[in-house]
Structure 1
Amino acid sequence: MVQSEMSFYNSSQSSTYKQQPILYIVVPCYNEEEVFTLTVEHLTEVMTSMVQEQLVSRESRLMFVDDGSRDTTWLQIAAARRENPWVTGLKLARNAGHQKALLAGLMYAKEFADCVVSMDADLQDDTGVVRDFVLRYREGYDVVYGVRRSRETDTWFKRWSAEKFYKLMQRMGVNTVYNHADYRLMSKRALEHLAEYKEVNVFLRGIVPLIGFRTTVVEYDRHERAAGESKYPLKKMLSFAWEGITSFSVKPMRIVTMIGFLSLGASLLAAIYALMSKIMGMTVSGWTSLMVSVWFIGSIQLLALGVIGEYIGKIYNEVKHRPLYVIDEVLHEQPSAAAAPWKEAGWKE
């Protein structure tokens, strides 16, 4: 009986982690016309090389998700689809944001792929590491995190702010992988469990570690942006950090509660000071301390209302159950036999 159960487990494991899995590389794009052509060239080389090595199936694809770009990004995706059989595309009806656009690609790709790699379009992530991701997947890992080896290419402020971001997330109780963004591989079953997380406030760096399963890390060196401008200025970075904290932790509300207790203690000390001043006949003085106390307590109250309001706003968004994104157009038809990439390369069936 035990032997039969073990044989069933081994067979299920071997079917889960195929020797030549169908790999999809999902790349969210927002106004990436300057770098798109170069990105397609790099990823095509990576995919072709892995297929030739028989690391992945010939049915693998590159999926570009246009997140409501205002430039020619979608036109370039459509043109690349006609010329490059590896390329597929999704066009969202409006700009939904990086995390939701990435989620749209992941949820669509999981229906066709055995494993999916997600990465940005700016080529800062080392595309050569995709091969290492696939090797780890074939070893039985469901989630493979791409982790930066160093931040030497960043400015001093960028390094400092990134370090503080990860430390702050950790202290707030958000389980994230240090120096990891959204460059990762996920197996089909990991993606199926990711689909069960229905929350509107999407923060994938915090959600993916909650899934569990076997995980590992692949280190790589991050490059300079190949072309174009960064889509994450300081304002967006701060907003992203706040979104992550408030989506996974109630500690900000607890901090406000602690500030309330401290304010109460300060008020009691002020009351003792006022009482002593009256007893000693010094009631005329103290106007400055009174005004400071009023402004201080008022600011604490506004801060508390702001934090509570942020959580109420998130609850409001969650209970409406609005769709996270709307797919406007899909370029995913299977290529014809004449245009199949392996035939173009001269390979045999």
Structure 2
Amino acid sequence: MRDTQPELSVVVPMYDEEEVLPIFFERMHPLLDGLGSTYELLVVDDGSRDRTAALLLDAAKDWPQLRVVRLLRNSGHQAAQSAGFRRARGRYVVTIDADLQDPPEVIAEFLATVREQDVDVVYGVRSDRSSDSWPKRTTARLYYRLMCRLVGKQIPFDAADFRLVTRRVVDAVNALPDDGRVFRLVIPWLGFPSTEVRYVRAERAAGTTKYNLSKMVRLAFDSVTAFSAAPLRLATWLGLLGGAMSGLFVVGALVIKLTGRSIPGWTSTVLAVSVIGAIQLFCLGLLGEYVARLFQSSQRRPQFLVGYDSLEDHGHQDPVTNR
């Protein structure tokens, strides 16, 4: 396996997943062996702090198709996927999370679909999300509706990071800059022929989610600022609205003054200042998001750094785990 290019690469970003790993291995190993295709299971350990890396390296001793890539630090889910795309060698590349909410058995259907149809992308679309909490389902719906409005109708609704892409798509994605990359938007934006496979989303097999509210908010901000200038246009419209409201306040003040009904007080002044100030601060915040993105891009810092790859460093110790 190490000397030949596999037909299939399965990329799995992981961060602190020691609890789910035994179940993950139990389902993935016989499944991939039974596909009838050469494969590599490329696990990208995103700087885990628990025993995830040690368990992966131990499993790789008896599973030659298991390839372990360790990032030097925790860089985030999208960065870990980028590292997997950079290093995947397969003709087809599948991305899937380790929590088993997206059933790995669907990979066989992905392969059958891409071989039968002339497409480059097969999206896994969640037909039933009842296993998710109500807040998660609600925020997900809001996210996808917002992305469809800002990016375009080509964004598959309820399709996250469980998909199959061909080598053409992998090469196109790798040609793009790493910073600010959101795969669930980048891949549809490229416009390659695609289709969907629907499945029922399951509950997390073990452990706890690593995608908390702050990370979901950050993903939403990255999605919007990386793919649309609409917030800047929104700031412009809010500025115009603030100007119009200021004009109305001036006209109202003049009318009250001329009719002699002027009442000493500060309510109208406070109201006007509050409205205009809020709009200005909101617009400055939007501009700040874009300026921050330009600043980060100008630094040209790598989004991730690979510390160990079991394919390239076979026979050598992982400098982090000393295994």
Q: What TM-score do the two structures reach when normalised by structure 2?
A: 0.91
Letter of the structure 2 residue corresponding to residue 156 of structure 1: W
Q: Which runs of 4+ in 1 moved over 6 A?
A: none
**8 Å CA contact retained: 2:82, 2:178:** no
Q: Deviations over 1:8-46 (max 9, x none)?
A: xxxxxxxxxxxx961111100000010012112211111
Structure 1 residue 182 and structure 2 residue 161: aligned? yes
Distance 1:280 1:191, change over 3 A: same
Letter of the structure 2 residue corresponding to residue 151 of structure 1: R
Q: Distance in 1 between matches of 2:74 and 2:198?
A: 31
One of 22, 34, 46 as aligned partner of 2:7: 22
**8 Å CA contact retained: 1:118, 1:184:** yes
Ranges in structure 1 where 5+ consecutive residues have no aligned partner: 1-19, 337-349
Structure 1 residue 264 and structure 2 residue 264: aligned? no
1:127 shift after superposition: 0.8
Q: Distance in 2 between matches of 1:87 and 1:333?
A: 13
Letter of the structure 1 residue corresponding to residue 254 of structure 2: L
Q: State the identity %.
A: 38
1:287-326 → structure 2 map (5 Å cutoff): 287-326=266-305
Q: What TM-score do the two structures reach when normalised by structure 1?
A: 0.85
Which residue number corresponds to residue 171 of structure 1? 149
1:232 shift after superposition: 1.4
Which residue number corresponds to residue 10 of structure 1? none
One of 85, 97, 100 as aligned partner of 2:76: 97
Distance 1:335 1:235, change over 3 A: closer
Q: Distance in 1 between matches of 2:289 and 2:28?
A: 40
Q: Distance in 1 between matches of 2:221 and 2:250?
A: 36
Letter of the structure 2 residue corresponding to residue 307 of structure 1: L
**8 Å CA contact retained: 2:6, 2:40:** no
Structure 1 residue 33 and structure 2 residue 18: aligned? yes
Q: Distance in 2 between matches of 1:245 and 1:333?
A: 37
Q: Distance in 1 between matches of 2:191 and 2:255?
A: 60
One of 89, 99, 105 as aligned partner of 1:128: 105
Which residue number corresponds to residue 261 of structure 2? 282
* More moved, 170-179 vs 34-43: 170-179
Q: Distance in 2 between matches of 1:286 and 1:199?
A: 56
One of 92, 103, 108 as aligned partner of 1:115: 92
One of 46, 51, 54 as aligned partner of 1:72: 51
1:237 shift after superposition: 1.3
Which residue number corresponds to residue 47 of structure 1? 32
Structure 1 residue 142 and structure 2 residue 127: aligned? no
**8 Å CA contact retained: 1:65, 1:92:** yes
Q: Which has the higher helix share?
A: 1
One of 206, 231, 240 as aligned partner of 1:252: 231
Letter of the structure 2 residue corresponding to residue 119 of structure 1: I
Q: Distance in 2 between matches of 1:43 and 1:31?
A: 18
Q: Deviations over 1:132-172 (max 9, x none)?
A: 11112222321111000111212222222211111111122
**8 Å CA contact retained: 1:44, 1:86:** no
Which residue number corresponds to residue 14 of structure 1? none
Which protein has the larger Cα radius of gyration, Structure 1 or Structure 2? 1
